[in-house]
Amino acid sequence: MDIYSSIANGPLPVLADGAMGSLLLNRIKRDDERWRGCYPCCEILNLTAPETVTSIHADYIRAGARLIRSNSFCGSPPMLDRFGLAGSSPDLNHRAARIACDARDRYASHGEVWVAGVVGPVIVDGAVQQDVEASYGEQVRSLLSGGVDLILIETAVSMDQVRNALSALRSLPDGKGVPAWVSISAGMASLAFDQVVEVCRTYQVSLLGVNCGSGPESFGSDLASLTQYYDGPLYCSPSAGIPDSTGAAARYPINAGKFVTEFAALLQSYRILVAGGCCGTTPEYIAEMQTLQSGAIGKLRP
């Protein structure tokens, strides 16, 4: 049974985990030596603080997540190069995948929890298309070698990101049959959703959706636009609002209860298969979201 069929075989929506980066930034203070002078590069913690990354995966699994995401969002060589870590990309991504898979095997089991290898955007000056595709290929190859079950191209902000990352994945000998999901950054009005859907069909993407943004309530317009061209079930992972960063730690305005209330409204209108959280969400949010699992069954199953 493939991943898509397997995750749809239990309670719906399938729960994904919540944020990784914002939790790491809260749990490991800025002056901690484990940052090795690379704050806020969370990927370095796969090497220097694997126990903390593991504990976050474990907390999400205990909260009910059936999909956890690797700590590799900024793991491409151009993004790591901001901290002088471009050459460490293969090792840091492989470690991210292994930490997630080992946490799954320790706290759950195969078939109960899936591991997504996360690939985020490349947002750096001077990156050209061929270099970006090659960098995605290096990142994806390392995530696959670490044992992830699927590749999630997350927070897509441009057509180049989607096309380059998918091309890199499908060009790898081991990547041709790997499940691929794409999630568009909420509020990206500049992205032509019809073009995104067409590219995703070309590269055999099995799940499309939206993530990040300013909270579940703001997702309606993006999901409405996407579903004009895409009629499959959706991936949906909102943030807990826009953070207030004036203090020592970012504070997010949407608490777990409000987050779930806003998410429930989305389930009334859209066929959401996988539901999780982005920036500012925690295991508390995912545990609270278990109350939603009866709400989507009628929309996803005949």
Q: Which of 244, 260, 299 is nearest to 15 (CA)?
A: 260
> Rounded to an integer, what distance in angstroms lies between the CA atom of residue 3 and that of residue 116?
11
pLDDT tens-digit readout, 78-107: 999 999 999 999 999 999 999 999 999 999
Q: In the prediction, which pLDDT does 132 show? A: 85
- The full DSSP string for 254-274 is --HHHHHHHHHHHHHHS-EEE
User: To which residue do tokens 């927070």 refer?
Assistant: 155
Sheet of strand 207-212, all strands in order from the earlier edge strand to the far edge: 14-15, 272-275, 234-238, 207-212, 180-185, 150-156, 114-119, 67-69
pLDDT at 187: 87
The per-residue pLDDT for 51 is 98
From the centroid of its chain, how far is CA 68?
8
**Count of Cβ atoms closer than 10 Å to residue 9 Cβ:** 11
Residue 128 is predicted with a pLDDT of 54
Tokens 């389930």 belong to residue: 267
Helices (H) and strands (E) in the chain, counts: 13, 8
Token pair for 102: 């080992």
**72 phi and psi, to 5 degrees?**
-145, 20
Q: What is the pLDDT of residue 82?
A: 94
Alpha carbons 162 and 170: distance in angstroms, whole number: 12
Extract the residue ranges of the chain whose pLDDT is less than 50. 1, 297-298, 301-302
Separation between Cα atoms, residue 190 and residue 22, nearest integer Å:
26
